[in-house]
Amino acid sequence: MVSIVNGTSTLSFIAGSEETLKQAINFYTNILGLSIHSEQDDYTYLSNQDNKMIVKIQLDSKTGLTTQQVKDRREDVVSKLNVIDWRSLDSTCVLKVDNLVALIETLTTYKYTLQITPNELYPNEVYCVDPLGYIVGFTACAEPLTVVPPLQKSKPKLDNASNLMSKSGSQSRSVEEFKPVRRNIAVMTSGGDSQGMNAAVRAVVRATIFRGCKAFTIQEGYEGLVKGGPEYIKETSWQDVRGYLSEGGTNIGTARCMEFKERWGRLKGCKHLIEAGIDGLIVCGGDGSLTGADLFRHEWPSLISELKEKGEITPEQYERHKNLYICGMVGSIDNDMAMTDATIGGYSALERICRAIDYIDATANSHSRAFVVEVMGRHCGWLALMAGIATSADYILIPEKPASSKDWKDQMCDIVGKHRAKGKRKTIVIVAEGAITSDLKHISSNEVKDVLVDRLGLDTRITVLGHVQRGGTAVAYDRILATLQGVEAVKAILELTPDVPSPLIAIVENKICCRPLVEAVKITKSVASAIEDRDFEKAMSLRDHEFKEHLANFMAMNSANHEKPTLPQEQRKKIAIINIGAPAGGMNSAVYAMATYCMSRGHTPYAIHNGFAGLARHESVKSMDWVDIEGWNSVGGSEIGTNRQTPAETDIGMIAHYFEKYQFDGLIIVGGFEAFVSLEQLEQARSMYPSFRIPMVLIPATISNNVPGTEYSLGSDTCLNSLMDYCDIIKQSASATRGTAFVVDVQGGNSGYIATFASLISGAQASYVPEEGIHLEQLESDINSLRESFSIEREMTKSGKLIIKSSNASKVLTPYVMADIIKAECNAEFDTKVAIPGHVQQGGLPSPIDRARGDRFAIKAVQFIEEHCDDLAGLRYDLDFPTDDKKIANTAAVLGVKSSHLKFTSVRHLYDFETELARRMPKVVHWEKTRDIADSLVGRTRITKT
C-alpha cells in the first residue's frame, strides 16, 4: 500500500467474501466516519464528506482472504505484539485523523488489538488489523515523525465519528471534486488521424479513472463500435496510456466505416455499448465523425427500444442505459470546424508546413527560384493562409476567396513581379488542395507553376507536402489543447442530462469552453455548401472572426509599399517599434508585421535598435525598408537588438529628446516585464516630457509569460516547443537506461508558467514552481510516488521519469541537491540525474503560433495608435496636461489575451492594481487550474501550505 499520509487519495482493498466485505464497510463507516459513495459491479467506494479520501473495496474470492484466513492473519499479527514492529510485517497504509486519542478509545471499545508508537502516553501512530486482514495505521500528524502532545481523553460519540477522518495536509485537488455521478466512459478516434489524438485519449482515460469511473477505448473508430467485443471495446487502465503524449497518430486506430452510416450498423453499435456497460462516449474526429455521433445519440431511444423488443438486451440493461451521453472533440489538421479557434492537430500540421517552407526558402534564395507548395485543405484554406502569414509567402490560393481564371493569374504575376523588382530573390506560392476559381474550376499546382514559368520566366519547382503534414508528434500547443479538452470532455459527460444537447469542446482565444455540437457542425458544412453554390461572400462570413482577420492582415502585409497606401497623406503617422528584455520567439514577426502594415497604410515605420540604452547613447533610430526586413517573419531572436534597461535606468530626458527630434506619433514596445515597467515610466513622464504624449502599446513577449494584463506572451509557445523536444529526448534516454529519473531545471523567473506547462506536455511526475516553493513534505511525497511508479513499471518499457523544477522554486534546493536527496531516499531503487536546458529554451526558429500572433498583435497595435492619436492631438504641448484623465491613461496600454478576449488594458490600471512589483509578477495566476490537471493526470498528490 502507498502511505495515505503523503501519497495518493485512494486506497484499494480486496475482500474475499461478502461477509468480510460487510465487516470492512462497517469498520470504515462506523469507526472512521466514511460513507458509501457508490457501488459498481464488484466495487464499493467509500469516501468522507469532501471526498478527499476514497477507499475502494473489490469483492474477489480468488485473491481476497476468507473469514477464517482473516482470523488467522489477525492472530498471527497480534502474537507479535511487543515483539516486533508490525510495520515490518507487511506494506501498511497510514491515515490521518483529527483526534488520535479519541480514535484509540473507539478502537479499544470495539476490542481491536492495537500497536501504539512510541508509547500510550505520547501516541504518534497506532496500528491495527482491519476486517480484510490489512495492517492499517493512523496518525494525527501530516509528518509521522512528529510527536503528538498528550491530549485530554474523551470518548467520542459514534454519530460524530465522521469528524475523526481527514486527509493528510490541505490538498489541492485536480480537475474538480468527485461528484455522485458515475458513468462508464469510452473514447474513440475517427476520420483522418491528427497529431494530438493520443494526448486526447490519454487525458480522457486518466481523467475518467481519476473521477472514479471506468474508462474504455474503442479501437478502429466506428468500425470497432460496429464489430464490438473485447477485441474492439476494451476497458483501459491508467498504465495503458503511458507514453501516449509523445506519439503521433492515434494508437487506438481510426477507420472509415460505411456500416455505421446505416441504421443497422448503429443498432449493432448500440448493442455493443450496452454489453460493455458504457454510458458516455467521447468522439475525437472531424465534422463527419461528430455528425455521426450526434445522430447516434438522437436515435438512441429508438435503438435501445428495438433491442429490448427483440430480446437482445435485458430489461435491467434497458433501464440502466436509457440514455447515451456524447461529447465531441475536433481532431482535424484542416482546422475547419466552426465555433472554435483551433482543432487538435491543426497547429502541428502548420508547424510541418512552416518547417518545410523554411527549408525550401534557403534553396529558393540560393538559386533565385520560385516554389509552388501544395498543402492540405479541401474546403478550408486555414493551413495555406496561416502558412502564408508565418513564412511571408508571396501569394496564396484558398477556396474561400477565389477569383476568375484570368484574375488570379494576373494578380499573382503582378505581386510576384513587383516583389522581384524590389530585389527579392525567391518566390513562394502556397496552394490549398481545394483551391478553386470563381467558377469552381480546380487550380492545380502544375497550373500555378506553368503561369510563373510562362509569364515571368521563373525557374519554378513544385513541392507537394501530402501526408507529411499529418506525421510526427504533436507540438506543445496541440498536446496542451488535447489534454485540457480531454479533461473538459469527461467533465461534460458527467454533467450531461438527457435534455441537454451534445456539447463540442472548443477553444476561444485562450479559454476552453463548450459549444453546441449540432450547431458547430451545421455551420461547418454550410461553408462547403456556400462554396459549391458560388456564394463566396457567405462562405467567408461563416468563417470565424480570426480567420477573416488573418486574411485581411495577410493581404495588407503582402501589398506593403508596392501598392498605393490606403490612408490619405494627412492621416499618415511616424510610428516607432522597440524591443525590450530578453529575446523571445515572435519578436521579429511583430517588427515585420508592424513595418509592412505601416507601409500598406502609408505610415513611416521606425526601428529603435538595442532598446532604450541604444537610443539614449547612440541615437539608434532607423526607418525600415521592405527589402531590409524581407524574411524576418521566420527568423528567431531580435534583428533590431534588445536591451533590459528601462528609460529610468538610462536617460529618460535623452530618450524624450530623440522622440521629439523624430516626431514620433506612436510607439510599440515588444518585450517582457522590463518592457511593462518601461511603458509605465513613459506614461508617468508624460506630464514632464511632451514627446511622450503619444499612443503607446506593449506587445508582451517573454518566455516567462509573466506580463500583467495577458495570459499569453510571444515566445512562450516557442519556448514550450523547445522544452518539449528536450524533455522527449531526456525521457527517451531515461527509459532506455531503465529506472532513471531526470530533474530538469527550467527558466521562468518568479513565474511557474513554463514549469507547469512543460510538466503537462511531457507527462512529468512532478513540477515545482516559485508560487508554491518546495516543501520537504511535498518532496517526500513525490519521492514515495516515484518509488511506487518505478515499482509498478519495473517490467514495462518507457519507464523514464521527469521532475520539472523552475529555477526560482528554491534557491537552496538546486537541481543537483534535489537529485542527491532523491537518490539518497530512494534506497537505490532508481537512479537520479540532472538536465539543464539553459538558453535552449529561448528557441531557434519561432513557432507558427508565435509568428502568427506576433503579426496579429503588431497590426492590432498599429490600429490602436491610429484610433487614439486624436485623443492626444490637442495636448501635445499643453502646460496643464491632465494626468488623472482615464481616457488619456487608456492611450498607454498592454495588448493581451484574457480568457476568450483579445483586449487593451491601461498600463496605469495594471501597474497600480494587478501587479506584484517585488516579484515581477501579475497578482492573479491564470494557469493554476492547469497545475491541478497536470498533477491529476500523473496521479500526484499536491500538498499546499496554508
Reported CATH class of domain 346-470: alpha beta
For residue 574, the SS3 value is strand
Decide: 677 and 892 in contact? Cβ < 8 Å: no
279 is catalytic: no
- Looking at the DSSP bridge assignments, the partners of residue 786 are none
- Is 842 one of the annotated binding-site residues? yes
CATH architecture, domain defined by 718-843+930-944: 3-Layer(aba) Sandwich (3.40)
- Is 297 one of the annotated binding-site residues? no
Domain map (residue ranges) of the chain: 10-170, 185-342+475-523, 346-470, 568-714+846-913, 718-843+930-944
Determine the pLDDT at residue 201: 97
Grid cell listed for 650: 538610462
Other Cβ atoms closer than 10 A to 716? 30
The residue annotated as part of the active site, out of 193, 279, 334, 850, is: 334
Q: Where are the alpha helices (DSSP H) in 277-422?
A: 287-309, 315-320, 346-367, 382-391, 405-421
CATH number for the domain running over 568-714+846-913: 3.40.50.450
185-342+475-523 carries CATH number 3.40.50.450:
yes
- Is 411 one of the annotated binding-site residues? no
In 41-169 the beta strands, taken as DSSP E runs, fall at 43-47, 54-59, 93-96, 115-118, 123-129, 135-139
Give the separation between CA 916 and CA 910, rounded to whole angstroms: 10
Give the separation between CA 898 and CA 688, rounded to whole angstroms: 33
- Is 94 one of the annotated binding-site residues? no
Question: Kindly report the CA angle at 847 between 846 and 848, in degrees rounded to 5?
Answer: 120
Determine the pLDDT at residue 793: 77
Decide: 778 and 945 in contact? Cβ < 8 Å: no
CATH number for the domain running over 10-170: 3.10.180.10
- Is 286 one of the annotated binding-site residues? yes
Other Cβ atoms closer than 10 A to 290? 29
- Is 470 one of the annotated binding-site residues? yes
Q: Is the Cα dihedral 430, 432, 437, 442 positive or negative? A: positive
305 to 267, 268, 282, 300: CA distances (angstroms): 10, 13, 23, 8
Give the separation between CA 332 and CA 236, rounded to whole angstroms: 24
Other Cβ atoms closer than 10 A to 170? 13
Decide: 303 and 313 in contact? Cβ < 8 Å: no
* Among the listed residues 646, 663, 651, the one whose alpha carbon sits nearest the alpha carbon of residue 575: 663
Give the separation between CA 414 and CA 416, rounded to whole angstroms: 6
β-strands 115-118, 93-96 pairing:
unpaired
Q: Where are the alpha helices (DSSP H) in 315-368?
A: 315-320, 346-367
Environment class of 38 (CB within 10 Å of its CB; exposed 0-12, middle 13-18, buried 19+): middle
Determine the pLDDT at residue 156: 32
- Is 336 one of the annotated binding-site residues? no
Decide: 421 and 458 in contact? Cβ < 8 Å: no
pTM of the model: 0.81
Give the separation between CA 339 and CA 481, rounded to whole angstroms: 15
- Is 376 one of the annotated binding-site residues? yes
Determine the pLDDT at residue 163: 31
Give the separation between CA 483 and CA 768, rounded to whole angstroms: 20
Grid cell listed for 886: 482615464
- Looking at the DSSP bridge assignments, the partners of residue 328 are 283, 504
Determine the pLDDT at residue 590: 97
pLDDT tens sequence across 670-729: 999 999 999 999 999 998 999 999 999 999 999 999 999 999 999 999 999 999 999 999
Give the separation between CA 903 and CA 29, rounded to whole angstroms: 53
Determine the pLDDT at residue 177: 39
Q: What is the DSSP letter of 946?
A: -
What stretches in the chain show pLDDT beneath 50? 1-3, 6-7, 143-180
The reply to whether 718-843+930-944 shares the fold of 10-170 is no
Determine the pLDDT at residue 881: 83
